[in-house]
Amino acid sequence: MAGGCVNWEAWQRSWDRQQELYMPDREERFRVMLEVVEATAGKAPRVLDLACGTASISRRLFAQLPEASSVAADRDPTLLAMARGSFDGDARISFVVADLEEPGWTRALPAQPFDAVLTATSTHWMQPETLARLYADLRPLVRPGGIFVNADHMPDPQTPLLNALDEIIQTVHQERARAKGARDWDQWWTDVAADPVLADEFAASRAIFEGRVKGVPHPLAWHRARLREAGFAETGVAWRSITDAVVVAIR
């Protein structure tokens, strides 16, 4: 079981570098996401950090809006351990173990509605029917006028030539990052496995995700359509690259 001798900040930095290998514009997405939150709810929003991982969103939320509060939900024991360790003693955040793919997962959450539900790079892992149900689950969690924001991979199948160019751009970026020592997803988890203090968490994470069938990323239009079907009043795009987007849904 992870203990106090772990350098949680070092793990947070290594997680950020690993994620930036795949998303060089990651901080720009967060910036846009939090601007929308502040415009919606002011300086002290109540946020649900959905599929929080190491709580990257909450870290940036508190840096920009110190009076904010966050409920961070995930099911990965390793990433949750890193998140909890990083925020030890911070009363602004609480953690919930929840499997978003299971019906009834919202019962683990506090009862009060949220000003904003935020998630990043999580929904592309989910099967389409499960993700559509998740969107329906989210609407009651958001107060009237509140928002759901999803930053993820949302390629457009109608632009195959442009998508191919983006693949070249990403490959060049990753080659340069690796030359500077960046670790990819598999290498990062190898580092986790080598840390004896995280042995229990790593084993539990692998047990959850071993043999998992990966989802297929859906285009932007698919997400917007499913969010409207879930009952959100309006959906739109706050940020867009060639193949990724930040989608905002307003209740």
| Residue 1 counted as domain residue | no
| Residue 161 counted as domain residue | yes
Contacts for 251 with CB less than 8 Å, ≥ 6 apart = 139, 142, 143, 144, 145, 146, 147, 148, 231, 232, 233
CB-CB contact of 58 with 87 (8 Å): yes
Q: Count structural domains, the chain.
A: 1
Contacts for 139 with CB less than 8 Å, ≥ 6 apart = 148, 230, 231, 232, 251
Mean pLDDT, residues 210-221:
86
Amino acid 85: pLDDT: 97
Banded pLDDT at 52 (limits 50, 70, 90): very high
Amino acid 1: pLDDT: 60
pLDDT tens for 133-151 read 999 999 999 999 999 999 9
**What CATH number corresponds to the domain at position 206?**
3.40.50.150
Q: Which domain holds residue 242?
A: 8-250
Amino acid 209: pLDDT: 87
| Residue 2 counted as domain residue | no
| Residue 135 counted as domain residue | yes
| Residue 3 counted as domain residue | no
Whether the pLDDT of residue 3 is over 80: the answer is no
| Residue at token pair 């508190």 | 62
| Residue 51 counted as domain residue | yes
pLDDT tens for 183-207 read 999 999 999 999 999 999 999 999 9
